[in-house]
Amino acid sequence: MTSVTTSAPPRKTRRAKAPPERREWTGLAFVLPFLAVFVFAIVAPLFYAVYLSFFQDRLVGGSFFAGFANYAQALTDPLLHVGLGRVLLFFAVQVPIMLGLGLFAALAIDSGRLRAKGAFRITLFLPYAVPSVVAALMWGYMYGNEFGLIRQIGDAIGVATPDLLSASWVLVAIGNIVTWSFVGYNMLILYSSLRSIPTELYEAAEIDGAGAIRTAFSIKLPALRPALLLTTIFSVIGSFQLFNEPNVLRALAPTTISSYFTPNMYAYNLAFNGQQYNYSAAVAIIVGAVTVVVAALAQRLSRAGEK
Amino acid sequence: MRITRARGAAVTAAALTLTLTLAACSGGSDGGSSDGGGGGDVTAADIDAALDAEGTTTLQYWSWVPNLQPTVDLWNEAHPNIQVELTNAGQSADQYTKLQNAIKAGSGAPDLAQIEYFALPQFALGESLVSLDDVGLSDLESDFTASAWEQVAAGDGHYAFPQDTGPMVMFYRADILERLGVEAPTTWDEFLTVARAIKADNPENFIASIDPGDAGGVDSLIWQAEGRPFSVEGTDVNISFGDEGTQKFAELWDTLISEQLVDVAGGWNDAFWRSLDSGRYAMWMTGAWAPGSLETNIPSTAGSWKAATMPVWEAGTPANAENGGSGTAVLAKSENKAAALAFARWLSTDSEAVQAQVDAGLFPSTSSIMADTDFLGATSDFFGGQAVNEVFVQASKDVSSGWQYLPFQVYANSVFGDTAGQAFSNATPIADGLTAWQDQITTYGNGQGFKVTND
């Protein structure tokens, strides 16, 4: 190390004297394609949405600058509050179940005690490959109160099944679809994280006399913390973005699933059925901000747990 | 292994972007309605001249009418100088969203578009459509049924060529009524009696269903009861479900729902067709365009069906309503207005074109075909050899006048399930549900710059 530092000074001075224009810009050329797409597809629409949210456009009277009026309206909009409350509840109940199942599956596959673990892994992951609209349609058929598969099985074995598309069950029904779709996805993230734990740790644990359960709690789970945080944040986003599943099921349950069932559905219906693009933009920005806050909270909590 | 702050921030930023993309794709706020409109620069002579014009004009035409291509082909073969390209840009509300966005953006809109009667006032108000009166085509009135011509009117103009109509018809399972030994009801009192007979026979069955998310179906039933909840004059709008007709409708359906004589369930889904197939529902009251859908979805019930005019409120006083139907509108921003008008006029009035569309399953809007003996005499095997067009034509003649849609009916319909539909689903008074609907669309209308009253 010392030899390096002693030989360095002359080069250092030469570099310091070099004019600033000679900085290397070739790297930029490599990033440019990405930056261009990023700016046009993500940054520009974002700013455009913010811009839109400061206007109002009426069917009679046209467009005018409205300042923060859209935001003031959205913050006190009971329909938006109901939607946000619903996705929060959904997040609080569905996400722990989904991540718990994903974690259990990842640990089971990683334990090496499963036969045909490749087949198990791919089967669990397969639902993720089904587009969410198709998944919702498929489950919708099964949920149907009159001719749905679940009701028919219930009838066959003499069990009274509830109406899964009624107000008290529909959130559970949606949670089931989302869990079915995403357990495998989360399992894969957690499993790949498990695979990257150095084998020395396991060997050391074995030498220390730790069993499978002890290894899981003392080595695997701590090592999984970052991956768990990642899946949690994805799930926060997923919950607040809930749209496809309720929107598809709405055809079957037009009154239990309202047009403002989730914040995203509300924003969609405001924009596309009500022509209230500007108000919709404000609603979307508020929902985005809430999502960021919840995601940040999740991160903060996880970091606090680490210490 | 642990997520760095930067990566965490990137993830949360991604969360924000994903949410906002939705808002961003919603399009511009540019007032596309500031110019254009009316279309007064085109005259009837220009339209005839366009037919013989040199060179080739290509027209973009948006429609989701099934099997329409053969009709368009007929035109294209006969008019090499005006070629029409048909695009299915989505059904109903989906297409209106695209159309509205294209109009706002000022580019990408077609020359012609199919627009349902209920959505027409909204586009007419924005001066996005050519008024037939401005281009000297108001004399077409005599070509169409009275209700069709009335439905393309908005404000002081007529904004589309009526393409098809949907007079309400009662489609019923003759086999079920026969087994129970009851006649098809001709009044709503008889309807209630038949409904109770069906329930008494098997508590699992219903006379019919009502879709608590479908504003159009309920509007038609209110219209048929002589209710007129919406009235529009320019930007002055009155919304009131307190009138006598609406109340009659609400009371009857309160009874039907509380006695569980009708099923409150969505339409057009798997369970709906299975119910019509199995006889769980004995009837479907809907527009005269329905036979094609019945034949396609439940072919196994062929021969068991019959069609009749709707039950009336007072015996001997025919009254009917329309359900669905659309017109062909020419966009004010089109650069080929004369050619587009020529095609649209042909599509709605030429006897060969009308026949081709009837063959494709549409119920027409022209008065001439309604008197055509071949049309009237045509029998249908699906309806056990009944000459159903006679029923449909009678249903069309019975349609009562004076119904108006709101200039923001697309929005109003989208929140029907949130408000009025709740009363149907929860078996609470329908009048209260309609009041909730009235309140919400009144607030919306006022927020959009209309002057909405509830008298």
In a domain, A51, yes or no: no
Pick the CATH number of B44-165+324-377 from 3.30.70.260, 3.30.930.10, 3.40.50.720, 3.40.190.10: 3.40.190.10
Say if residues B20 and A49 touch (Cβ distance below 8 Å).
yes
CA angle B428/B432/B436 to nearest 5° reads 120
Residue A12 banded pLDDT, cuts 50, 70, 90: very low
pLDDT at residue B121 above 70?
A: yes
Distances (CA, A) of B154 to A94, B99, B405: 49, 19, 9
Please check the confidence at residue B8 and state whether its pLDDT lies above 70: no
Cα–Cα distance, A190 to A224 (Å, whole number)? 7
Give the tens place of pLDDT for each residue, A129-153.
999 999 999 999 999 888 899 999 9
pLDDT band of residue B105 (cuts 50, 70, 90) is confident
Residue A115 is predicted with a pLDDT of 87
**8 Å CB contact of B408 and A252:** no
Query: Do strands B157-158 and B112-116 pair parallel, antiparallel, or not at all (unpaired)?
Result: unpaired
User: Domain extents for chain B?
Assistant: 44-165+324-377, 167-322+382-453
Q: How many residues appear in chain B? A: 455
Mean pLDDT of the region B76-98: 93
Give the residue-averaged pLDDT of B415-443: 97
Chain B hits for A226, CB-CB cut-off 8 Å, are: 1-3
Judge whether A240 and A294 are in contact, CB under 8 Å: yes
Of B15, B27, B413, the CB nearest to A292: B15
Among B266, B269, B418, whose Cβ lies nearest the Cβ of A259? B418
CB contact (8 A) between residue A254 and residue B211:
yes
Q: Do A252 and B269 touch (CB under 8 A)?
A: yes
Lowest mean pLDDT among B18-27, B96-105, B235-244, B292-301: B18-27
**What pLDDT was estimated at residue B43?**
87
Q: What letters, b where the CB count within 10 A reaches 16 and e where it falls short, cover B367-394? A: bebbebeebeeeebebbeebbbbebbbb
**Residue A142 domain-assigned (yes or no):** yes
- Domain B44-165+324-377 identical in fold to domain B167-322+382-453: yes
Q: How many domains does chain A have?
A: 1
**A117 part of contact set with chain B, CB < 8 Å:** no
% of residues, chain B, pLDDT over 90: 84
Q: What is the rounded distance in angstroms from the CA atom of residue A107 to the CA atom of residue A90?
A: 25
Q: Which of A43, A52, A59, A82 to probe the B interface (max B CBs under 10 A)?
A: A59
Task: ipTM value, please give it.
Answer: 0.83
Q: What is the CATH topology of the domain spanning B167-322+382-453?
A: D-Maltodextrin-Binding Protein; domain 2 (3.40.190)
The three-state secondary structure class of B308 is strand
CB contact under 8 A, A267 and B23: yes
With vertex at residue A24, the alpha carbon angle to CA A21 and CA A29, rounded to the nearest 5 degrees, is 115
pLDDT tens digits, B313-334: 999 999 999 999 999 999 999 9
Q: Is A63 contained in some domain? A: no
Given B266, B270, B275, which is nearest A141 (Cβ)?
B270
Transcribe A92-125 into DSSP letters.
HHHHHHHHHHHHHHHHHHHTT--TTHHHHHHHHH
**How confident is the model at residue A19, as a pLDDT?**
58
Please report the pLDDT score of residue B40 as a whole number: 52
**CA-closest candidate to residue B234, choices B407, B117, B403, B116:** B407
**In this structure, is residue A187 part of a structural domain?**
yes
Q: Which residues of A touch B446 (CB under 8 A)?
A: none
Question: In CATH, what number is assigned to the domain containing residue A239?
Answer: 1.10.3720.10
pLDDT of residue A246: 97
Q: What is the pLDDT of residues B355-402, one digit of tens each?
A: 999 999 899 999 999 999 999 999 999 999 999 999 999 999 999 999
A226, A255, A289: residue with CB nearest B2? A226
Q: Give dist(CA B48, CA A194) in Å, integer.
A: 76
Q: Tell me, what's the pLDDT at B18?
A: 43
Residue A282 lies in a domain: yes
Closest CA to A174 of A149, A128, A143: A143
Domain that holds residue A80: 76-306
pTM (global) more than 0.95: no
CA distances from B441 to A79, A224, A250, B2, B437 (A): 15, 51, 21, 52, 6
